Structure 1
Amino acid sequence: MICRMWHGVTPRSKADAYTRFLEQRAVPDYRSVPGNLSVAVLRRDEAEVTHFLTVTHWESEESIRAFAGNDLLKAKYYPEDQDYLLEFEPLVQHFVVAAIENVV
């Protein structure tokens, strides 16, 4: 299993709208790809900005390619991201999951 992590930053004033965008557009897009096992969107508010961390789990590199394309570590952005994000980090991080326990 591979864990893929993406980080983005919005102005604090746009954080609630971006949260809704992620829930309505990005999460369903991730989940529609065969081999996507889970999606979690984490949010941390600071004084003027809000950080988002999207953590996804995938069965294989092939399933990630189906979502993100052949350049596995290249970040995938949506056209709407231009309305929210302060910067566009070019790369994501991948980790092989060595151990996991579901918390439910």
Structure 2
Amino acid sequence: MIARLWHGRTPLAQADEYERFLAARAMPDYRGTPGNLGAQVLRRDESGIAHFLTLSYWDGEASIRAFAGDDLLRAKYYPQDADFLLEFEPRVTHWTVTSAG
């Protein structure tokens, strides 16, 4: 299993709206991709900024390609992200899941 981790930052004033956007648009996209084994959004507020992580689980690289394209570590963005994010981090990280509860 592969865990895919993305990070983004929004102004705190837009964080609640972005959280709703992720729940309505991004999470169904992740979870609707064959081979996705689950996805979560994590949020941390700090000094006027909200940090968001999406943590998704995949059965293999082919499933990630179906979701994000051929460049496995390239971040996937939605057009609406431009209304919220302070920058567009170009890369995600992948982790091999060695234990799950």
SS of the residue corresponding to residue 29 of structure 2 reads helix
What corresponds to 1:83 in structure 2?
83
Q: What residue is the counterpart of 2:18 in the other structure?
A: 18
TM-score by length of 1: 0.96
The offset of 1:51, in angstroms, is 0.1
After TM superposition, the score normalised by the length of structure 2 is 0.99
Per-residue deviation, residues 53-92 of structure 1 (Å, max 9, x unmatched): 0000000000000000000000000000000000100000
The question of 1:67 aligning with 2:63 is answered: no
**Aligned equivalents of 2:97, 2:29: Cα separation in 1:** 22
> SS of the residue aligned with 1:19?
helix
Instruction: Give the equivalent residue in structure 2 for 1:99.
Output: 99
Number of corresponding residues = 101
Which residue type is aligned with residue 99 of structure 2?
A: A
1:49 Cα deviation (Å)?
A: 0.4
Once the two structures are TM-superposed, the CA of residue 47 in structure 1 deviates from its matched residue by: 2.1
RMSD of the TM alignment (CA)? 0.4
Letter of the structure 1 residue corresponding to residue 4 of structure 2: R
Residue ranges of structure 1 left out of the alignment (5+ in a row): none
Partner of 1:54: 54
